[in-house]
Structure 1
Amino acid sequence: MLAVVLLIIAGTVVVVMRTGNRDDTAGPPSDLPSTSPVAPGGPTTGPSGRPTDQPTDQEPRPRELAETVLDALDLGPAVTGSGVAAQLQPLLANPALGGRIGATVLDPATDELLLDLDADGGHVPASTTKVLTALATLETLGPDTRFRTTVVRAAGQVVLVGGGDPVLSQRVEVNESWVYPITRFDLLARATAEELLRAGTTSVVLGYATDLFAGPAVNPAWEAGYVPGGQVAPVSALSLDGGRTRVGFAQRADDPARFAAERFAALLGDHGVQVEGAPMPQSTPRASPGSALIASAESPTVAEIVGQMLTRSDNDGAEMLARHVARAEGEEPTFAGGSRAIVGVLERLGIPTDGLVLTDGSGLSRQNRIAPVTLARALELAYEDPDGSSRSLLAGLPVAGFTGTLTNRFADPQSAPEAGDIRAKTGYLSRVVALAGYVVDADGRLLVFAVLADAVVPVSTLDAQRAVDQLAARLATCGCR
């Protein structure tokens, strides 16, 4: 059964399609890759403990649609700080949240900070870090940029050049249950084989290039079990399905680029072009009289990629986007360079960065520190964005009770009635629970909130998640005048 939810956000209608069917091999249709003159991989511009909010290839089946689903953003009566405090302070005292909590509520209409509970203090943000990565990506690259994976003939061999496409995928089947954007890797291989056969070439030596990004591929601040446990893959400019070895499974390749090249070799063989030997790493070929572009594949837009990164809490996508931000800002495309670039973009936008420490773009690092007010101001800026370039940040935030990492949240009697009225980014690591997003209150007024608890007792994690859900739900019901 297919359900369609219409969400009206800042004047934009967002369609969320949901289905009860599961098919982990599904993917949307895509045009064949183009063939054109030699061009490097990378971005092109178009016409305009164990973290459990890790990405999943398929969202769980949601319960029935709530009757109120962000269907209006009318400006209601003003909210007061005293009204917010009276409603939220008892909930913030919940022992499940532990002894270190940062929280803020912001009214974009008045620019007033309505709640300040260590709002300027740095807290471990977990995956709410992705809000900052998303905003910096949209600001530096623009929503219409696309990433390009290319296949080049040079120096007697064929080279697969990684363009840092976060949604390059092995998916080949089309099914309505997979609603996220992808770039079809199989179509790139098919176009390459057809072009080679047209030129009379039936066997090639295959190389692959990943020098769009620099190392290290694994962040030293990550816990040792994250890569083998499937929370994230080594970061590479050439990676399939976030480095997964099989669609729909968590296991990641030790070397995502080599795995992608080996898969490409197999696909070429399926189409009549044999690869001699094993694919070997190369530098990106420079344009020369003897070089030529064989085929290329362009990704969906940055707006689409950022949206799915937030909805699914895609760690791999966030890290690749952070490296693209680094390149755009003149930094080295590394963890450190991406972190510096994101902070620099936020400062340029006037977002407070006191206490801000970033060591990755996904939030897996426990060394990250973000103040609740930084998240709130970033969300406020995205909402008020005059040219609409940050709209996909709003649209990509999970809808409470319906999409992404909030599909199975807001399920208890205190928060379930407000499912649909809240869009927020989740964050979870062992001892850390966070939630930051937007809520429409009982009077139709939009509020921005951020709650970060980073001293949660491990046995209380689910209770802490319910507690932050109840905080957001209380904002939706209170009016808080």
Structure 2
Amino acid sequence: LAPVVPRLAPSARQPALQAELERIVAHWKARADREAAKSKHWNRAQVEIALSVRREPDGAEVAAVFPERALRPASNQKLVTTATALALLGPQAAFRTPIQLQGELVNGVLAGDLVVQGGGDPLHDRTDPHYAQLRLRDAARALKNRGLARVSGALVLDEGGFDAPAPGPAWPSPSQHWQDYCALSGAFSVNGGMLSALVRPARVGEPALVELLPAPSGLSESIGVATVAGGRSDVQVGATARNATVRGSLGIGAEPVNAAFAHPDPVQAFGACLLGALDAAGIQVERGVVRQRNRWDPALEPTVVIETPIAHVLQAINTDSTNPVADQLFLATGAAAGGSPTRAGGRAATARALASLGVSADGLAQVDGSGLSRDNRISARQLSALVHAVLSGGGEAAALWRGSLALAGQTGTLEKRLVGTPSAGRVRAKTGFIAGTSSLSGVATALDGREHVFAILVNYPDVDGLNNACWKPMQDEIVRLLVERLP
């Protein structure tokens, strides 16, 4: 095992940095008092701010404020998820979705079932909403090229040990479950469990051009977007257990809309999309889609395997903060390295990874891979230790992980932060936000070339607007200190 990441030692202390960090924290905490004074939810005593700063390359903690407090990390949990996958599975690992023919294939007819084994692949691309559909069409064509023309049985989706898709513990309220950030995870998925409505204006008075992806989705569709004069966009989307809705209006001068929202069942979406791909390839399936468990026959070789490198999804998770993709990776890592494709398996994998990286797991509580649950807990000290451990490990894994983090002022969730400052382009980090929680962890490169890793966690009473008014500016001031005026 790797040596334990060094903690704060007297010889490593930087008093000037410590004093300045304490001043910044006190300033913004007082500012939050003023901003939230009229809110009935505000209680200053419930504000918890924790941070840890480590110098590179030795990883010594040089300054900290309550670094041992285990707090909600929000999407900083994704750092744990992606680091665990890289540490245990390696940078070359891939999601696997094998397909086998169970029965005799004679003259193009399979006398049996076409069985697919779920492996947790989100089948998601951060820039192409057609990605999943195209991948499944490729698989269908490969089956056609192997001589398959008709399946007398069913397309069987074997969910194995994966739980049925469902909201996680301590998730947002059901009123938010249609949102893309609440998309579900499971043995199978397409487009990360999300639907994408691509809407373009036509002529004024005519219906706008709407494409709902992936297609088919397994849902009935209620689509009606009018093209109107002007440049205003007013497109509403949503899905129930049976129906997807895209309604509203789009101005003739408006930019095209790509609206993402949660599919109610990612396994259903996968089955419908694959069945559609098989039909497009000229393969008939007599009995449609059937969901079963333990149907995979390990004695039979798969006919086709859909493989997606985990490296393909790292930016979607760490740069864009796409929750369902992180949760799919969490479950898949649990399957490969934690004993089962469940939350318990994912937690077991995390424990193994932290031990291998020399990071303490004391006080850590992990419910999901995305950080959406309010029951997740981790300390700033653990997060900074994790960032240091992964980056100092070197090699392809470290390069992939570092490159997957958002770049200040340029990409992802940091695209609009630190713009026009000397810190733009010099901070790679993961943001985090859920109600009453704000976080930022990553690595800052000073103007003189020195590097520090940092972790900043804030838990506070849920008062609207406080994250933008106080906690993001506080985080930005801290990282600017590390980049622009490091003592």
The reply to whether TM is greater than 0.5 is yes
Return the alpha-carbon distance in structure 2 between the equivalents of residues 389 and 339 of structure 1: 21
Q: Check conservation: 2:169, 2:367, Cα contact below 8 A.
A: no
In structure 1, the residue matched to 2:275 is 265
Secondary structure at 2:378's aligned position in 1?
coil
Based on CA coordinates, which of the two structures has the bigger radius of gyration?
2
Return the alpha-carbon distance in structure 1 between the equivalents of residues 141 and 352 of structure 2: 41
In structure 2, the residue matched to 1:445 is 450
- Residue number among 152, 176, 182 corresponding to 1:232 in the alignment: 182
Q: Check conservation: 1:357, 1:369, Cα contact below 8 A.
A: yes
Q: Identify if the C-alpha distance between structure 1 residues 361 and 172 changes in structure 2 by more than 3 Å, giving closer, same or farther.
A: closer
1:161 aligns with 2:117: yes
Alignment of 1:123-142 (within 5 A): 123-142=71-90
Q: Identify if the C-alpha distance between structure 1 residues 420 and 88 changes in structure 2 by more than 3 Å, giving closer, same or farther.
A: same
Deviation at 1:153, TM superposition (A): 1.2
Q: Which runs of 5+ in 1 are unaligned?
A: 1-77
Q: Identify if the C-alpha distance between structure 1 residues 372 and 461 changes in structure 2 by more than 3 Å, giving closer, same or farther.
A: same
Deviation at 1:386, TM superposition (A): 4.2
| Counterpart residue identity of residue 190, structure 1 | R
Stretch of structure 1 that moved more, 329-338 or 260-269: 329-338
In structure 2, the residue matched to 1:283 is 293
Q: Identify if the C-alpha distance between structure 1 residues 182 and 455 changes in structure 2 by more than 3 Å, giving closer, same or farther.
A: farther
In structure 2, the residue matched to 1:11 is none
1:222 aligns with 2:171: yes
Q: Identify if the C-alpha distance between structure 1 residues 330 and 459 changes in structure 2 by more than 3 Å, giving closer, same or farther.
A: closer
Deviation at 1:281, TM superposition (A): 0.6
Q: Identify if the C-alpha distance between structure 1 residues 384 and 182 changes in structure 2 by more than 3 Å, giving closer, same or farther.
A: farther
Return the alpha-carbon distance in structure 1 between the equivalents of residues 128 and 317 of structure 2: 21
Return the alpha-carbon distance in structure 2 between the equivalents of residues 215 and 267 of structure 1: 24
Q: Check conservation: 2:18, 2:64, Cα contact below 8 A.
A: no
In structure 2, the residue matched to 1:420 is 425
- TM-superposition CA deviations, 1:91-150 (whole Å, max 9, x none): 212135663100111112343212110001111100001111111111111110112222
Deviation at 1:417, TM superposition (A): 3.1
Q: Identify if the C-alpha distance between structure 1 residues 429 and 168 changes in structure 2 by more than 3 Å, giving closer, same or farther.
A: closer
TM-score by length of 1: 0.74
Return the alpha-carbon distance in structure 1 between the equivalents of residues 102 and 398 of structure 2: 39
- TM-superposition CA deviations, 1:409-437 (whole Å, max 9, x none): 224x7xx3311110000000112110000
Q: Identify if the C-alpha distance between structure 1 residues 182 and 393 changes in structure 2 by more than 3 Å, giving closer, same or farther.
A: farther
In structure 2, the residue matched to 1:367 is 375
Secondary structure at 1:251's aligned position in 2?
strand
In structure 1, the residue matched to 2:22 is 89
Q: Identify if the C-alpha distance between structure 1 residues 272 and 362 changes in structure 2 by more than 3 Å, giving closer, same or farther.
A: same
Return the alpha-carbon distance in structure 1 between the equivalents of residues 358 and 389 of structure 2: 9
Return the alpha-carbon distance in structure 2 between the equivalents of residues 184 and 349 of structure 1: 35
Q: Check conservation: 1:167, 1:183, Cα contact below 8 A.
A: no
TM-score by length of 2: 0.74
- The alignment-based identity, stated in percent, is 28
Secondary structure at 2:121's aligned position in 1?
coil
Return the alpha-carbon distance in structure 2 between the equivalents of residues 295 and 106 of structure 1: 47
| Counterpart residue identity of residue 171, structure 2 | W
Return the alpha-carbon distance in structure 1 between the equivalents of residues 193 and 477 of structure 2: 36
In structure 1, the residue matched to 2:466 is 460
Q: Which runs of 5+ in 2 are unaligned?
A: 1-10, 33-43, 104-111, 197-212, 214-257
Question: How well do the aligned residues superpose, as a CA RMSD in angstroms?
Answer: 2.8
Alignment of 1:53-452 (within 5 A): 81-93=14-26, 94-95=28-29, 96=31, 99-155=47-103, 156-168=112-124, 184-195=135-146, 198-199=147-148, 201=150, 205-215=154-164, 217-225=166-174, 226-246=176-196, 247=213, 248-287=258-297, 293-299=302-308, 301-411=309-419, 416-452=421-457
Q: Identify if the C-alpha distance between structure 1 residues 333 and 205 changes in structure 2 by more than 3 Å, giving closer, same or farther.
A: closer
Q: Check conservation: 1:133, 1:321, Cα contact below 8 A.
A: yes
Deviation at 1:352, TM superposition (A): 2.1
Deviation at 1:242, TM superposition (A): 0.9
Deviation at 1:371, TM superposition (A): 0.5
Deviation at 1:168, TM superposition (A): 4.8
Return the alpha-carbon distance in structure 2 between the equivalents of residues 430 and 330 of structure 1: 30
Q: Identify if the C-alpha distance between structure 1 residues 221 and 207 changes in structure 2 by more than 3 Å, giving closer, same or farther.
A: same
Return the alpha-carbon distance in structure 2 between the equivalents of residues 185 and 236 of structure 1: 17
Secondary structure at 1:184's aligned position in 2?
helix
| Counterpart residue identity of residue 88, structure 1 | L
Stretch of structure 1 that moved more, 118-127 or 164-173: 164-173
Q: Check conservation: 2:150, 2:285, Cα contact below 8 A.
A: no
Deviation at 1:468, TM superposition (A): 0.9
Return the alpha-carbon distance in structure 2 between the equivalents of residues 120 and 460 of structure 1: 24
The structure with the greater share of residues assigned to strand is: 2
- TM-superposition CA deviations, 1:372-415 (whole Å, max 9, x none): 0101000001111044433311111100011111112224x7xx
Q: Identify if the C-alpha distance between structure 1 residues 324 and 194 changes in structure 2 by more than 3 Å, giving closer, same or farther.
A: same
- TM-superposition CA deviations, 1:259-281 (whole Å, max 9, x none): 21111112221222223243111
1:473 aligns with 2:480: yes
Deviation at 1:90, TM superposition (A): 2.5
| Counterpart residue identity of residue 274, structure 2 | F
Return the alpha-carbon distance in structure 1 between the equivalents of residues 53 and 317 of structure 2: 24
Q: Identify if the C-alpha distance between structure 1 residues 205 and 443 changes in structure 2 by more than 3 Å, giving closer, same or farther.
A: same
Q: Check conservation: 2:121, 2:187, Cα contact below 8 A.
A: yes
| Counterpart residue identity of residue 442, structure 1 | L
Return the alpha-carbon distance in structure 2 between the equivalents of residues 173 and 390 of structure 1: 28
Deviation at 1:365, TM superposition (A): 0.9
How many residues of Structure 1 are paired with residues of Structure 2 in the alignment? Answer: 391
In structure 1, the residue matched to 2:226 is none
Return the alpha-carbon distance in structure 1 between the equivalents of residues 133 and 319 of structure 2: 14
Return the alpha-carbon distance in structure 1 between the equivalents of residues 128 and 100 of structure 2: 23
| Counterpart residue identity of residue 158, structure 2 | A
Return the alpha-carbon distance in structure 2 between the equivalents of residues 148 and 475 of structure 1: 42
Q: Identify if the C-alpha distance between structure 1 residues 273 and 391 changes in structure 2 by more than 3 Å, giving closer, same or farther.
A: same
- TM-superposition CA deviations, 1:217-275 (whole Å, max 9, x none): 43122123343222132221210011123345322222211221111112221222223
Alignment of 1:2-17 (within 5 A): none
Q: Higher RCO, 1 or 2 (CA under 8 Å, sep at least 6)?
A: 1
| Counterpart residue identity of residue 471, structure 1 | I
| Counterpart residue identity of residue 324, structure 2 | D
Secondary structure at 2:442's aligned position in 1?
strand
- TM-superposition CA deviations, 1:19-40 (whole Å, max 9, x none): xxxxxxxxxxxxxxxxxxxxxx
Q: Check conservation: 2:335, 2:342, Cα contact below 8 A.
A: no
